Structure 1
Amino acid sequence: MTDITVIGAGIAGLVCAQQLTQVGYSVKIIDKSRGVGGRVATRRLFETKADHGACYLKPKGEFSQRLVTLLSQKGDLEVWTDTLHVQENSSSLTANLQSSLPYTAPEGMNVIAKFLAQGLQINRGERVKKIDLNFQNQWHLTSQTNQEFTASSLVVAIPAPQAVMILESFAQNLLDNNFLEKLRGVEYYPAITVMAGYTESSAQPEWKAITFTQNSVLGWIGLDSSKRKNPTQPHFVIHSSADFAHKNFESEDLEQVGREILHNAASGVNLPWLNNPQWMQVHRWRYAFPKTPLQQTCLPAETSLPLVCCGDWCGGNLIESAILSGIAAAEHINCKLQQRELPGINFFDAL
Structure 2
Amino acid sequence: MNIGIIGAGLSGIVAARDLTRHGHTVELIEKSRSVGGRLATRRIGEGKADHGAVYFTVRGEELKQDVADWQMKGWVNVWYADPYPRYVAAGGMNALAKRLAEGLTFHLNERAETVTTGAGQVHVRTDVTARQYDRLIITSPLPQTLDLLADFPVDAALRGLTYAPTFVGLFEFESGVTIGPDGILDTDLAPGMLKIVNNRQKGVSATELVSVYMDESWSEEWYERPDEDTLCEIERLLQTVTGSAVIQSSQLKRWRYAQATDVWNESFHKLEHYPIYLAGDVFLEANDASGRTRFESAYVSGIRVAEAMC
1:234-292, CA deviations, whole angstroms, 9 ceiling, x for partnerless residues? 221011111111111122x212201201211221x3x2235x41011100001111210
- CA distance in 2 between counterparts of 1:64 and 1:255 reads 40
- CA distance in 2 between counterparts of 1:328 and 1:203 reads 43
Please name the residue that 1:65 is paired with: 64
Q: Which runs of 5+ in 2 are unaligned?
A: 285-291
- Alignment equivalent of 1:258, drawn from 215, 228, 231: 231
Amino acid at match of 1:75: G
- CA distance in 1 between counterparts of 2:190 and 2:78 reads 28
- CA distance in 2 between counterparts of 1:73 and 1:199 reads 35
Do the aligned partners of 1:63 and 1:323 also contact (CA within 8 Å) in 2? no
- CA distance in 1 between counterparts of 2:143 and 2:185 reads 29
- CA distance in 1 between counterparts of 2:124 and 2:294 reads 29
Please name the residue that 1:344 is paired with: none
Give the secondary-structure state (helix, strand or coil) at the position aligned to 2:134: strand
Alpha-carbon shift at residue 214 of structure 1 (Å): 8.0
Do the aligned partners of 1:105 and 1:227 also contact (CA within 8 Å) in 2? no
- Alignment equivalent of 2:107, drawn from 113, 123, 131: 123
- Alignment equivalent of 2:202, drawn from 207, 224, 227: 227
Give the secondary-structure state (helix, strand or coil) at the position aligned to 1:49: strand
Amino acid at match of 2:125: T
1:290-327, CA deviations, whole angstroms, 9 ceiling, x for partnerless residues? 21011111111112x41110000001411111111112
Alpha-carbon shift at residue 230 of structure 1 (Å): 7.4
Do the aligned partners of 1:164 and 1:180 also contact (CA within 8 Å) in 2? no
Please name the residue that 1:36 is paired with: 35
- Alignment equivalent of 2:221, drawn from 230, 233, 247: 247
Give the secondary-structure state (helix, strand or coil) at the position aligned to 1:57: coil
Q: 1:213 to 1:306 in 2, by over 3 A?
A: farther
Do the aligned partners of 1:106 and 1:227 also contact (CA within 8 Å) in 2? no
Q: 1:109 to 1:330 in 2, by over 3 A?
A: same
Instruction: Name the one with the larger helix percent.
Output: 1
Q: 1:277 to 1:327 in 2, by over 3 A?
A: same
- CA distance in 2 between counterparts of 1:230 and 1:48 reads 5
Q: Which runs of 5+ in 1 are unaligned?
A: 83-97, 335-351
- CA distance in 1 between counterparts of 2:216 and 2:47 reads 27
Alpha-carbon shift at residue 104 of structure 1 (Å): 1.6
- CA distance in 2 between counterparts of 1:213 and 1:113 reads 32
Give the secondary-structure state (helix, strand or coil) at the position aligned to 1:314: coil
The normalised TM-score by structure 2 is 0.92
- CA distance in 1 between counterparts of 2:36 and 2:212 reads 20
Do the aligned partners of 2:179 and 2:196 also contact (CA within 8 Å) in 1? no
Please name the residue that 1:236 is paired with: 210
Do the aligned partners of 1:106 and 1:228 also contact (CA within 8 Å) in 2? yes
Please name the residue that 2:24 is paired with: 25
- Alignment equivalent of 2:299, drawn from 310, 318, 323: 323
- CA distance in 2 between counterparts of 1:142 and 1:129 reads 6
Please name the residue that 2:289 is paired with: none
Alpha-carbon shift at residue 194 of structure 1 (Å): 0.5
- CA distance in 2 between counterparts of 1:213 and 1:229 reads 25
Do the aligned partners of 1:212 and 1:218 also contact (CA within 8 Å) in 2? no
Instruction: Name the one with the larger strand percent.
Output: 2
Give the secondary-structure state (helix, strand or coil) at the position aligned to 1:15: helix
Q: 1:50 to 1:153 in 2, by over 3 A?
A: same
- CA distance in 2 between counterparts of 1:101 and 1:117 reads 24
- CA distance in 2 between counterparts of 1:213 and 1:309 reads 38
Percentage of pairs with the same residue:
30
1:115-165, CA deviations, whole angstroms, 9 ceiling, x for partnerless residues? 22121110111110011124x3311111123x1100011101111111111
How big is the alpha-carbon RMSD for the aligned residues of Structure 1 and Structure 2?
Answer: 1.8
Please name the residue that 2:97 is paired with: 113
Q: In the TM superposition, what are the counterparts of 1:261-276 in structure 2 within 5 Å?
A: 261-267=234-240, 269=241, 271-273=242-244, 276=246
- CA distance in 2 between counterparts of 1:312 and 1:10 reads 10
- CA distance in 1 between counterparts of 2:78 and 2:185 reads 17
1:45-73, CA deviations, whole angstroms, 9 ceiling, x for partnerless residues? 21111100001122222233223212211
Q: In the TM superposition, what are the counterparts of 1:282-293 in structure 2 within 5 Å?
A: 282-293=252-263
Give the secondary-structure state (helix, strand or coil) at the position aligned to 2:195: strand
Please name the residue that 2:124 is paired with: 141
Alpha-carbon shift at residue 229 of structure 1 (Å): 6.5
- CA distance in 2 between counterparts of 1:180 and 1:230 reads 44
The normalised TM-score by structure 1 is 0.81
Do the aligned partners of 1:293 and 1:314 also contact (CA within 8 Å) in 2? yes
Alpha-carbon shift at residue 204 of structure 1 (Å): 2.5
- Alignment equivalent of 1:313, drawn from 282, 306, 309: 282
Give the secondary-structure state (helix, strand or coil) at the position aligned to 2:124: strand
Give the secondary-structure state (helix, strand or coil) at the position aligned to 1:225: coil
Alpha-carbon shift at residue 109 of structure 1 (Å): 0.9
Aligned residues: 302
Amino acid at match of 1:199: E
- CA distance in 2 between counterparts of 1:69 and 1:113 reads 16
